[in-house]
Chains A and B, each alone.
Chain A
Amino acid sequence: MHSSLWLSALIVLPLVGALVAMLVRKMPGASYIVAVGVGAIEVVLSLIVAVLYSSHVANAQGFDFYTRHVVSAPLGLAYDVALDGLSLLMVVLTALVLLLSLLGGRDKRREPAFVAWLLILTGLTMGSFVAHDVLEFFIFFELTLVPCYFIISGWGGAERARAALKFFLYTFTASAFLLIGILYMGFAYQHQHGTALTFAYGILSTTTMSHSTEVWLFIGFAIAFGVKAPIWPLHTWSPLTYAEAPTAGSIELSALLAKLGSYGLLRFAVGLLPLAQVSVRPYVLTLAVIGILYGSILACVSKDLKRFVAYSSLAQMSFITLGVMSGSTIGVTGAVLLMFNHGIITIGFFLIIGYLERRRSSIQIADFSGLQRPAPVLSAIFMVAMLASMGLPGLSGFVSEYLILIGTFTTHAWWAAVASLGVLASAVYLLWAYQRVFHGRAEGANAEISDASSAERWVLVPVVVLIVVLGVFPKPVLDRITPSVHNLVTQVATAGAAK
């Protein structure tokens, strides 16, 4: 077991960084340097944590880096952090997203405020992923809305106000269901055991509830996390929001915050409500399958690149939902891995789209043509991200998608069989988009377009490296995820059977 200070540092450092960035706001560029510095340290810290994390802890049914301090006993409020194989990759992703979106999506308008919001968002997201207390998770989870709202409404496109509002209302309304569910569980436990009010994860999971109660709670949880993830049909905020957000905002939302939804679904809606699983699975799996096909179809007819990525993300996130709800260790492991892989791939997509927007001030697919000739490096990197996204073996997307499909097939064969069509559908929409943007003849402004500068290339290097390495040699990562997933899946299965 390692010291929880590592995790606390990961949460606190960006928050302190935000403060410093605001303090030095009068010096031009200083706040950006502070933010990049914090981002770099976060990446290093998260990698250290990833290396230190030993799956032996999970094998012994435990969490690493664990600590608990009660903040307010009457409110049941506690600072409680811990790490296991489910959250490990998300911690690394959070740090990477911060650094890469700062480096690749630099926005010089009112820069100090911009980087401060990004840093605050990172601290809060980090907190959500390592929170080991359900109420604490909810607070972090809910607070992430605030920086998101300001990033979209402050630095977004023409329709930013509408997009920010829609995003906010959707997620805010949905999380009310989550709060009600959490409070219900806390009080139910208190009532049953006569102890002090607590929302500690491990304790709350032993709350005794009837089957129908668990199903109702699951529905509430699923709505809250389903908006965030998104799960079809709760996704309609995402295309508008991704399209209007600035590059860094699109990255944060789709690469990172969407994972809060699927992570929450797995950790809380599955982990805390074992009794409900068997009855709700077919329904959620059906929504996931619809999401895969529906997202693919809408990606085909999307007219701008950001909406295109939004709908392809709907399809990919639906794959994650499929794996999360599969009830198979293989499928859930694939889902956890895809959360990370999709994050990295999406960073790649949005960075390149951001670069194109810089050059042409447009993200309309119809405005581009034949870019492979003038910009071979950008095209090649887009190609790598695209191939990973469509699950080409040898790249990262394949391992996760394959695990999800084969794992789900062992428990719910028909759903997995239909979902396999998503493999075909992703090839259709991705190749078609690639053809329209990068193939053909480059004329006019497209012929003049400049290839990626060396600074832009360096930002994309980690994306490409992670895509290739995790595709060829995913073993160290899988070895860290699997024990925790195995624990969760068996606990849910036995509790579901025993209760």
Chain B
Amino acid sequence: MSHVAPLIIVFPLVGFLLVLVNGRSLSNRLVGAIATGVVGLSFVSSVVVFVLLLHDQSREVTVQLFTWISVDTLHVPAALLVDPLSITMCLFVTGISTLIHLYSTAYMDGEKDFRKFFLYLNLFVFSMLTLVLANNLVLTFVGWEGVGLCSYWLVSFYFDRDSAASAGKKAFIYNRIGDVGLLLAMFLLFLHTHTLTYLGIFSSTSLISPAIATLVVLALLLAATGKSAQIPLFNWLPDAMEGPTPVSALIHAATMVTAGVYLLVRMSPILALSSSGRMSIAIIGGVTAFVAATIATAQKDIKKVLAFSTVSQIGYMVLAVGVGAYGAAIFLMISHAFFKALLFLGSGSVIHSLGGEQDMRKMGGMAKWLPLTFPTFLIGWLTISGVPPFAGFWSKGDVLTNVFAHNKALWVLGVLTAILTAYYMTRLFILTFRGSERFREVTHQHDPHESPLVMTAPLVILAVLSVLGGLLDLPWAHGFSLTHFLSPTFGFVAPIPSQSTVLQTGLAAVDVAAVVIGLFAAFTIWRNTVESSTFERPFFEHVWRWDDAYDATLGRPLARAARVSNDVVEDRIIDAAVEGVGGSVRRSGEGIRKLQAGMVRQYALAMVLGVTVIVVYLVGRAR
């Protein structure tokens, strides 16, 4: 195991270095093949490690690589922690990454920066795997910032477009706000437990007081809101759609944005120490899920709908974490990775066939022209809406059942969100694939064409996974479920009041009813219209005026403060004061300036002598 596990992260790094060093001498085809191949190898290594772990008694293996930082009492090894949680993450991250790499080789064909794209993508996979496999918080932070950096590069991939460059910057900076939270959490934990390895921290939870635990949990929550696009830091994600669509599928739907949820689940033994911290997490998750869903109902850009949908779905995951349903959170994370990657790649196929058009008002009737994209997208739509028996029904149901057991108000919010989810996804589906063909203007009367096989094959695989994903964690399969496999990793889990089969069935019926309401509403409203309906509030379309509010309360005041600092504080106060304190500084300056005239060398000599004389004089006088 200790020989195979490092390979999971080494392969993508090798791919990155190979392309970095030989980039110019390799053909695009070869670059694509190398990049996809190394991620595929990483997936194979993950499978091998998974099998080895199943046969390992301890279910918790630490693999030491080398000493990274070691000063005084601070020891940060570069070491991996292979346990059920990390290997589960590795499996789905490498699996989906392989598919999306494959898809990208066709989607990005003909791009000027084709090589750079795969360079970034491989580095991203390396960072993401470092994040999940690290055995300590600092190494996780390496991956955490690494994925943020790659996201910055890939969002601003079309950097000559100002909107793309700004979106990349915004993504990075919002992430950095969260990173400050992660730093503070690390500092607090180190101060009180004197270690930063996960297992070390978890074995010294007795040293952490409840108040400190709450602070740590809130700091971790801040970190998670940045990375996972939750309130109050969620509004970078829609802008991030400026990046190429495979990037949106991989980074901004399936993997990176779930890192915040992973971090919270990973730190579950600390979460166990603070019920108010968990409550905050649950509220943030529930409210984000709802707010983002309302916004998704009013977007015109197909990728923006999916972006807010992602925010909303991650809100569900965070909500699940908040009520201690860590297994449900991971289950939803994985099934979401399947269906959201499918939806994004499917939308990419649509956009690709329409020469880059993303406005749903200029689509319609695509079902006829995209014989493979259409059925797979149909499955994605049904899955995310929560139609049984697809994966989304089971995973969302799992979350909502757990929420019901802990907090009825949040459960109601979750059900409302489920209605909205079914509604906005149906709207998207109808506007894109059904109705009249409105794209002729965009395509200059050409017929749209289906994407090549390397793009449609990943769609088919993801569709199959979306259909079957529910098998991972069926409610009655206790011994062989994902939650059971993961459970040794979780800290103390708040006991779930045992629910009768009748209650569970009832809750499932509510879920189905929610879906039906959402579907029905969308079909009624959007069957014959494309323009905004009464449901489509400008307030929702403009993201609850969130950006404007930040601009008014933070952006503009800070900009003004910067101008004042520059013009007034720096020039008129500090500089003037320092020169004033010097008193005769300016006058003596005039004197020296006269001395300087033309006699550079003499002046140097005078200076050296002057200093010496002062020294001698002071020494002599002081005696």
Contact indicator A399/B69 (Cβ below 8 Å): yes
B183 and A423 form a contact (CB under 8 A): yes
Contact of A413 with B173 in the complex, beta carbons under 8 Å: no
Point out which of A330, A406, A438 has the most chain B C-beta atoms below 10 A from its C-beta: A406
* A420-B184 in contact given A410-B191, A427-B173, A439-B165 (Cβ < 8 Å): yes
**B163 CB to nearest A CB, Å:** 11
Give the shortest distance, in Å, between B582 (CB) and chain A (any CB): 6
Flag if A75 contacts B160 (CB, 8 Å).
no
Please state if B176 and A406 are interface contacts (CB–CB under 8 Å): no
| Known contacts A236-B574, A301-B566: A410-B162 contact under CB 8 Å | no
A187 within 8 Å of B (CB atoms): yes
Judge whether B187 and A409 touch: CB under 8 Å.
yes
Contact of A143 among B74, B585, B589, B611 (CB under 8 A): B611
B589 and A165 form a contact (CB under 8 A): yes
Most B C-beta atoms less than 10 A away, residue of A183, A413, A427: A427
B570 contacts chain A at the CB level, 8 A cutoff:
yes
Answer yes or no: B62 CB below 8 A from chain A CBs: no
Q: Which of B25-33, B139-147, B352-360, B442-450 has 4 or more CB atoms under 8 Å from chain A?
A: B139-147
Q: Given the complex, which residues of B lie within 8 Å of A146, measured CB to CB?
A: 604, 607-608
Residue in B closest to A147 when the chains form the complex, CB atoms: B604
Q: Determine, out of B269-277, B479-487, B615-623, the stretch whose residues face the partner at the interface.
A: B615-623
CB-based nearest A residue for B177: A424
Q: Which chain A residue shows the least CB distance to B152?
A: A431
Query: Chain A: interface residue count, which band?
Result: 35 or more
Nearest residue (CB) in B for A383 is: B153
A392 to B179, CA, bound (A): 11
Is B462 part of the binding interface, using a Cβ–Cβ cutoff of 8 Å?
no
In the complex, residue of chain A having the shortest beta-carbon distance to the beta carbon of B141? A393
Q: Does B68 contact A (CB under 8 A)?
A: yes
Contact, CB under 8 Å: B160 / A440? yes
Contact A439 B574 (CB under 8 A): no
* B160 and A373 contact, CB distance less than 8 A: yes
A93 contacts chain B at the CB level, 8 A cutoff? no
Measured between C-beta atoms, what is the minimum distance from B119 to chain A in Å? Answer: 11
What per-residue 1/0 map shows which CB atoms of A416-444 lie under 8 Å from chain B?
Answer: 11001101100110011001001111100
Contacts known (A330-B73, A403-B74, A420-B180); A435 close to B570, Cβ less than 8 A:
no
Quick check: A431 and B172 within 8 Å, CB to CB? Answer: yes
Does B592 touch A at the CB level, under 8 Å? Answer: yes
Minimum CB–CB distance from A74 to chain B (whole Å) comes to 8
CB distance from B474 to the nearest CB of A (A): 40
Question: Are the C-beta atoms of A301 and B72 separated by less than 8 Å?
Answer: no
Q: Is the CB of B71 within 8 A of A403?
A: yes
- Cβ–Cβ contact A236 & B145, under 8 A: no
Interface residues of A in 146-204 (CB under 8 A from B): 146, 149-150, 153-154, 161, 165, 168-170, 173, 179-180, 183, 187, 197
Given A435-B165, A478-B69, A478-B70, also A424-B173 (CB < 8 A): yes
| B162 cross-chain contacts in A, Cβ below 8 A | 439-440
Q: 1/0 contact trace for B157-191 toward A, CB 8 Å? A: 00110100110010011001101100110111011
Contact between B69 and A301, CB atoms less than 8 A apart: no
Among A126-134, A281-289, A292-300, A339-347, which stretch is in contact with chain B?
A: A292-300
Known A-B contacts A143-B611, A409-B191; A187 and B622 likewise in contact (beta carbons under 8 Å): yes
Of the candidates A334, A393, A407, A478, the one whose C-beta lies within 8 Å of that of B145 is: A393
Question: Which interface residue of A170, A173, A472 has the most chain B CB atoms within 10 A?
Answer: A173
CB-CB nearest in chain A for B578: A236
- Stretch from B330-338, B422-430, B557-565 at the A interface: B557-565
Cβ distance B53 to chain A, nearest Cβ, rounded Å: 27
List of B residues within 8 angstroms of A417 by Cβ: 184, 187
Whether B616 contacts A297 by the Cβ 8 Å rule is: no
- Residues of B close to A330: CB separation below 8 A: 71-74
Residue from A328, A387, A407, A424 within 8 A of B149 (CB atoms)? A387
> Are B177 and A403 within 8 A (Cβ)?
no
**Pairwise interchain contact A435-B562, C-beta atoms closer than 8 A:** no
Q: Is B160 in contact with A402, judged by CB distance below 8 angstroms?
A: no
Q: Does A55 contact B (CB under 8 A)?
A: no
A486 located at the interface, meaning its Cβ lies under 8 Å from any Cβ of chain B in the complex: yes
Chain B residue contacts of A474, Cβ below 8 A = 68-69
A373 to chain B, nearest CB (A): 7
Chain B residues contacting A403 (CB-CB under 8 Å) are 69, 71, 74
The 6 closest A-B CB pairs, nearest first, are A439-B165, A409-B187, A393-B142, A236-B575, A329-B72, A439-B159
12 extra A-B contacts, CB within 8 A, seeds A161-B593, A179-B618, A420-B183: A183-B619, A236-B574, A298-B566, A328-B72, A392-B145, A392-B149, A406-B74, A406-B187, A417-B184, A423-B183, A439-B162, A475-B66
Contacts A/B (CB < 8 Å), 28 sampled: A138-B615, A145-B607, A180-B618, A233-B574, A236-B570, A236-B574, A301-B563, A329-B72, A393-B142, A394-B145, A402-B69, A406-B74, A409-B187, A410-B190, A417-B184, A420-B180, A424-B179, A427-B172, A427-B173, A427-B176, A428-B173, A435-B169, A438-B159, A439-B159, A440-B159, A473-B66, A475-B68, A479-B70
Residues of A within 8 A of B (CB): 75-76, 135, 138-139, 142-143, 145-146, 149-150, 153-154, 161, 165, 168-170, 173, 179-180, 183, 187, 197, 233-234, 236, 294, 297-298, 300-301, 328-330, 333-334, 370, 372-373, 387, 392-394, 399, 402-403, 405-407, 409-410, 413, 416-417, 420-421, 423-424, 427-428, 431-432, 435, 438-442, 472-475, 478-479, 482, 486
